[in-house]
């Protein structure tokens, strides 16, 4: 009787997508151990036919309420939860690091001497916020381009190592320098965020990505592809100079550029 009960229980777990510590989604094969390879920080696969892309730019899944992961533990949705859960990254030690919380207001209040000396500056309040990350920070990697995003793509295709890509597009909003595909590359390759002194497009796709983007405005007109521009050179965003290696701090209140780390 005890063996029969155990077999029935095991079949029930397998039917629900749990088998010997392996997390399964409906219609999928095993996607990794709850405490093993799935903790690498990669997004979990989406069931076939869901109509959603795999990767770091997923939204909610329609249909049945599925289990979600919290810090390497699979939990069922709460009773009565009306919205389909999101697939979440495993937040174990092996996951991608989460930016430390900060406030640009607090950073300014604590560094009035740097503001007075000009070693800390606030970018002009002309940027709109896009992407899932409202707050991001990192060392600046700079580009100087004009209505041509060839260098933007080749830069974001490389590992970002937690840097912030700062693009001096001369303030032109006639052509979009960043779109949904490039925002996905930024999220996938470890860029903390992107600041565009110019225009972007594919706003809905960018807003679904696990990255932070600041730009002047959206424009559906794509950029040129001639390869013109310069990498990792001193630039100016409005009246604020930005050097490669400067520290960038962005939240909903604004964007700071500092010659020294503030945290």
215 and 144 co-located in one domain: yes
Nearest CA among 156, 203, 196, 194 for reference residue 177: 196
Q: Is residue 131 domain-resident?
A: yes
Nearest CA among 216, 189, 225, 220 for reference residue 205: 220
Q: What is the pLDDT of residue 7?
A: 52
Q: Is residue 201 domain-resident?
A: yes
Q: Is 59 helix (H, G, I), strand (E, B) or coil?
A: coil
159 and 202 co-located in one domain: yes
Q: What is the pLDDT of residue 58?
A: 57
Domain range for residue 47? 2-75
72 alpha-carbon distance from chain centroid:
20
pLDDT at 20 over 60: no
R_g of the chain computed on alpha carbons: 22
20 and 142 co-located in one domain: no
Q: Is residue 81 domain-resident?
A: no
Query: 222 - beta bridge partners?
Result: 176
Q: What is the pLDDT of residue 63?
A: 39
Q: What is the pLDDT of residue 103?
A: 97
pTM for this prediction: 0.66
Q: What is the pLDDT of residue 56?
A: 64
Residue % of the chain over a pLDDT of 70: 63
67 and 122 co-located in one domain: no
116 and 232 co-located in one domain: yes
Q: Is residue 86 domain-resident?
A: no
51 and 113 co-located in one domain: no
6 and 109 co-located in one domain: no
Q: Is residue 83 domain-resident?
A: no
Which of 81-85, 90-94, 223-227 shows the lowest mean pLDDT across its residues?
Answer: 90-94
pLDDT band at 86 (very low <50, low <70, confident <90, very high): very low
Q: Is residue 90 domain-resident?
A: no
Whole-number average pLDDT of the chain: 76
Q: Is residue 96 domain-resident?
A: no
How many domains does the structure of the chain reveal?
A: 2
Q: What is the CATH number of the domain that holds 203?
A: 3.50.30.40
Residue that is last in its domain, among 75, 92, 127: 75
pLDDT at 263 over 70: yes
67 and 114 co-located in one domain: no
Q: What is the pLDDT of residue 238?
A: 93
pLDDT at 37 over 60: no
Tens digits of residue pLDDT in 87-143: 333 333 333 455 678 999 999 999 999 999 999 999 999 999 999 999 999 999 999
pLDDT at 201 over 70: yes
């Amino acid at each position: 009787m005890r063996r029969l009960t155990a077999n029935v229980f095991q079949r029930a777990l397998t039917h629900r997508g749990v088998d010997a510590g392996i997390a399964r989604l409906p219609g999928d094969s095993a996607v990794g151990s709850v405490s093993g390879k799935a903790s690498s920080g990669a997004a979990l696969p989406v069931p076939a036919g869901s109509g959603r892309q795999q990767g770091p730019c997923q939204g909610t899944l329609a249909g049945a309420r599925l289990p979600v992961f919290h810090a390497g533990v699979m939990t069922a949705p709460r009773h009565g939860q009306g919205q389909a859960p999101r697939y979440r990254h495993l937040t174990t030690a092996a996951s991608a690091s989460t930016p430390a919380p900060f406030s640009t207001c607090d950073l300014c209040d604590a560094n009035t001497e740097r503001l007075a000396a000009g070693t800390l500056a606030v970018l002009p309040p002309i940027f709109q916020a896009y992407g899932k990350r409202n707050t991001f920070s990192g060392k600046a990697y700079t580009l100087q381009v004009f209505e041509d995003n060839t260098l933007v793509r080749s830069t974001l295709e490389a590992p970002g190592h937690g840097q912030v890509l700062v693009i001096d597009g001369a303030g032109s909003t006639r052509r979009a320098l960043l779109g949904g595909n490039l925002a996905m590359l930024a999220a996938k390759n470890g860029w903390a965020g992107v600041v565009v002194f110019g225009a972007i497009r594919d706003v809905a796709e960018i807003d679904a990505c696990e990255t932070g983007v600041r730009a002047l405005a959206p424009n559906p007109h794509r950029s040129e592809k001639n390869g013109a521009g310069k990498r990792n050179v001193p630039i100016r965003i409005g009246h604020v100079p930005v050097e490669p290696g400067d520290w960038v701090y962005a939240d909903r209140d604004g964007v700071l550029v500092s010659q020294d780390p503030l945290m």
